[in-house]
Structure formats: structure tokens, C-alpha cells
Amino acid sequence: MRKFLVVMDDSPEFLNAMRFAAIRAKKTGGAVVILGIVAPEEFQHWIGVGEAMRAEARERIEEHFKVFHRWMVSKEGMEPELVIREGEKATEVLAQIEEDPEVGILVLGAGATGEGPGPLVTELVARQTADMSVPIVVVPGGLTKERIIAVS
């Protein structure tokens, strides 16, 4: 089964990427993997404090995922998978793609502010494409829900 990989964060761009991935996966018989990444700066403190911060970061990701899980089940009738990794975003995205041979497409949301597509899109598309083993779909940040549905 082909999986659509989406990187979860708090941005509106993530919502567009997730919506696109869910609709395409449903139409093509695929699945959606939502990747939550705990950044290294979130837990680089004293050992005890760092461990507590790591646990809190994972908890935040799991709670955030519950919202999108409910949406995907109710609106698209699919069960997304959650994967949590720790490290630098671009590195962990590439590692997830390498470790899961069913990942067939990386779906990223581009920024809507006009300040560029965003750091992850820039890093993966501009600098890492030679290392990519799957196509990247960049969903423009300015697309409306209706337009995403239409092009999906």
C-alpha cells in the first residue's frame, strides 16, 4: 500500500497538506502517515529536565494527532498512522522515508505569507532532492479547502 507522509506541526500549511494527503489516499487506496518530530532543542537540558521535556513534547504531539485522527476518520473514513521521531526535521523526514518502504509520496504545505515556502520545504526541495527516493508534493498555503478538494 502506498503511504502519503505528512509532517505535523502547528501551521495552517500542515492542515492543507493533511487534507490533500487524506483525499488523495482515499481516492487511490493509500494510507496517510503523520510524522511528528520532537526537535533537539526541546530536550537539550540537564538530563532529568530534558527527559521530562521530551515526554511533554511527545504528549503534545499525541494530543495534536488525536484532533487530526478524528477529522480524518469522520471526514475521509481513514485511519492515519502516527510516527514520532526525535531530531532535526529534514533529517528525520528522510530517515522515515528510508525506513518505511511503503511511503510513496511526501506531502508538504508551503507557507501562505509570501515569505517563501517555509524552512522544511526549502531544505527538502532545494537542498535534499538528490537524496529523495519519493516524489514531493508541495501544497500551496493559499489554497482554499474547496480548491484542495478539487485538485485532489
Confidence at residue 12, expressed as pLDDT on a 0 to 100 scale: 80
Determine which of 106-115, 117-126, 128-137 has the lowest per-residue pLDDT on average. Answer: 117-126
3-state secondary structure of 11: coil
Burial 105-138 (b: 16+ CB within 10 A, else e): bbbbbbbbeeeebbebbebbbeeeeeeeeeebbb
Sign of CA dihedral 93, 98, 102, 103: positive
- pLDDT of 63-101, one tens digit each? 999 999 999 999 989 999 999 999 999 999 999 999 999
Structure-block grid coordinates of residue 89? 526535521
Domain boundaries, the chain: 3-151
- pLDDT of 8-55, one tens digit each? 988 888 999 999 999 999 999 999 999 999 987 655 555 556 677 788
Confidence at residue 38, expressed as pLDDT on a 0 to 100 scale: 92
pTM of the model: 0.88
119 touches 126 (CB < 8 A)? no
Which superfamily, per CATH, for 3-151? HUPs (3.40.50.620)
80 touches 67 (CB < 8 A)? no
